[in-house]
Each structure stands twice: as C-alpha cells, then as structure tokens.
Amino acid sequence: MSHHLNIPPEIDWAVRSFIRRHKRALRWSCLAAVLVVLLLACGTGWLLVRGAARLSGWAAGKSPVVQIPLAWEKPLGDAALAQIRSQVPFVTDPRAIEALNTLAAPLLAGINNRSGGFNLFLAESSQVNAFALPGGYIVMNRGLLEQARSAEEVQGVMAHEMAHIIKRHAVLQLAKDLGLDLVIRRLQAGESRLLDSLVQDSGRLLGLKFSRDDERAADDLGWEMLEQSGIDPRGLAGFFERLQAQRPASERGGNSTGATLLSTHPEPQQRLERLRLKDAAMQQREFKSFTREFQKLREALAPVPGMLETPASGQLLGHEASSGLAA
C-alpha cells in the first residue's frame, strides 16, 4: 500500500516552474553546501589530530607548553647558582679571576645577552666541566682550565656556553622537561606564583642535557662568535677532540678527565666532524694571540688552590659585561 501526497496543481506547477527558472543557481548552491561540509569535516579532523598530538607531546614532556618570560631567567639562574655554591666552593683569588676575565673580554665585547650581562665564575672542582645557566651565569671548573692547553681552548668553551645562554637553551629545555606539569601549576597557582614554583625546580637546570640540535646550534654560534672576536675557533674543536680521545680510558675506570664534560654533550664524535668541516672551509687569516693571558691564568691556578669561598658567603664575584650589539 503506498501513500501519495495530494499537492494542489497550482502549487506543484509553481514549484516546478521555480526549479526550472533557478536550476543553475540551485546546482551551485548544492555544490557550495557540499564543499562547506567537506571543509568543516577536514578542519574538525585536523583539530582532533593536532590536539591529540599536542596532548601526547605534553604528556611526554617533548614540547614547551609554557613560555618562560625573559625576566624570569635571572631568578632561575640565581637559584641554580646557589645550588652549585652549596656543593662546591668558588675560587676568589683575584689573579685567577682577572686572568679569566681577560680571556673572556674579546667575546664579551661583541655579543649581547638579552636577559642581561654575562657573569663568569670559577668553581673549585677537579671535574672537567662548565655550566651555562639562565641569566648569563657561566661556571667553569678548575679542572677544565687545568686540562686546557691553550687560551683558545678555554675561550672556545666560553663561547659555546655563551651561545647556550643567548639561545635560551636551558629555560626551553626546562619547559620541555617539566612538560604538562607546568600547565597544571599555572592553572592551579596562576602566573604570579609560577615563578616561585619554577625557582624551586631550578636544581633541574644542573642535570639537564641539551639536545643534539641545541649542541649543534651552540657550536655554530660559538664558532661564529670566536671568529668575529679575532679568536682562533679551532681551539674549541681541539679541546673536544682531545677529551674524546681520553674517553675510552675513562670508561674503563682509568683517566676520567674528559668524561664529565662529554657526558653532558651528546654525540661528540659527530659534532667534532662538523667542526672539522668548518675548519676546512675557513679562510686563512691571522688571529690574536692570548698566550700571555693564558700563562697568567695557569700561574694563578697552579701554585695553590686559591682563596676558597665558603658556601655561606653570598658574595658574587665575576665579570659582568653587555653590549648593544645583537647576537
């Protein structure tokens, strides 16, 4: 049994007449409606996929979910520096500090740290290592300076650590490391208390390992800074190459001088190869000599350990410098 609608003839005629007159417009309208539906479906699908990827990245701590303001870098650096001070005394021998600052002066004259100046410190530690902290703090261990064979090797490490600070690698890595936890803290405590929360986590900065991309970027910028300052950049490659050659012995429990620094710098062999390529492509030129300044540093370090700063002392000794030149 079928049912039929009883449409008056005049209405049926009017509808058919309307369709005949506007057939083309109706076709384009239907096509436009289909396209809109498809676009909405594609957009919804893209948002779902993108959202799922972001949530997955946050959960894994693989992407910075909270931007850390530039003004927060110094408080974070202050807290991390205090942690180092509580664990190891700092050298305050004026001769050593002056010699270190003299080696750093050419680099500091031509670069700019957006969060402020640069502060150099010398830690009384035999480990061959250096730390780049937010706010422009660079801590170099006595062991690293004693292991270096030339001023250019010391300046190469300085330039590399300065590049980490200029690129904000530490704070970006901290944001990635904390991941979704930072979002939760911001929602719970708000922006005003988030800095205090981050300062409490500043100890994480000492244990962070920069990514391969970060290390390559620091190598590239550090090499450029050295060349612009008239310093032979091959000292950076030479220092890492010598430490890499010592690494097998350290892994066997023998000489461990190079293990600490290389353990915080991933894939040293690949980075050495990139630095060698830079060396091969570099045009021949004359570089400044810093032999006398380096000898003064070695003399200041060699005779005695130097005046040691007790952890209770809050005095900050170092070199502050900034310039108006963009890095």
At residue 305 the predicted structure's pLDDT band, cuts being 50, 70 and 90, is very low
Q: Which of 76-90, 180-194, 298-312 has the highest mean pLDDT?
A: 76-90
CB 74 within 8 A of CB 171: no
Supply 186's token pair: 């911001």
CB 112: neighbour CB atoms within 10 A?
Answer: 16
Report the mean per-residue pLDDT for the chain: 75
| Residue 277 Cα distances to 133, 220, 234, 237, 288, angstroms | 29, 11, 11, 10, 22
pLDDT of residue 4: 57
CB 150 within 8 A of CB 235: yes
Question: What confidence tens digit (pLDDT) does each residue in 260-273 have?
Answer: 565 555 567 788 88
C-alpha–C-alpha distance, residues 218 and 157, integer Å: 10
pLDDT of residue 324: 28
Higher pLDDT, 213 or 48: 213
pLDDT of residue 158: 95
Radius of gyration over alpha carbons of the chain, in Å? Answer: 30
C-alpha–C-alpha distance, residues 52 and 212, integer Å: 26
Higher pLDDT, 254 or 86: 86
CB 199 within 8 A of CB 134: no
C-alpha–C-alpha distance, residues 192 and 197, integer Å: 10
Higher pLDDT, 226 or 59: 226
Q: What is the pTM of this model?
A: 0.68
Question: What confidence tens digit (pLDDT) does each residue in 127-165 have?
Answer: 999 989 999 999 999 999 999 999 999 999 999 999 999
Least confident of 95-99, 261-265, 274-278: 261-265
CB 186 within 8 A of CB 66: yes
Question: H/E element holding 137?
Answer: strand 137-141
pLDDT of residue 255: 42
Asked whether residue 122 carries a pLDDT value surpassing 80, the answer given is: yes
Least confident of 8-12, 127-131, 275-279: 8-12
pLDDT of residue 20: 65
Asked whether residue 65 carries a pLDDT value surpassing 70, the answer given is: no
The one-letter amino acid code at 140 reads M
Q: What is the mean pLDDT of residues 291-299?
A: 93
The percent of residues above 70 in pLDDT, for the chain, comes to: 64
CB 101 within 8 A of CB 322: no
The percent of residues above 90 in pLDDT, for the chain, comes to: 31
DSSP per-residue codes, 206-270: HH----HHHHHHHHHHHHHHHHHTT--THHHHHHHHHHHHHHHHHHTTS--TTHHHHHTSS-HHH
Q: Which of 4-8, 23-27, 137-141 has the highest mean pLDDT?
A: 137-141
Supply 293's token pair: 């300044």
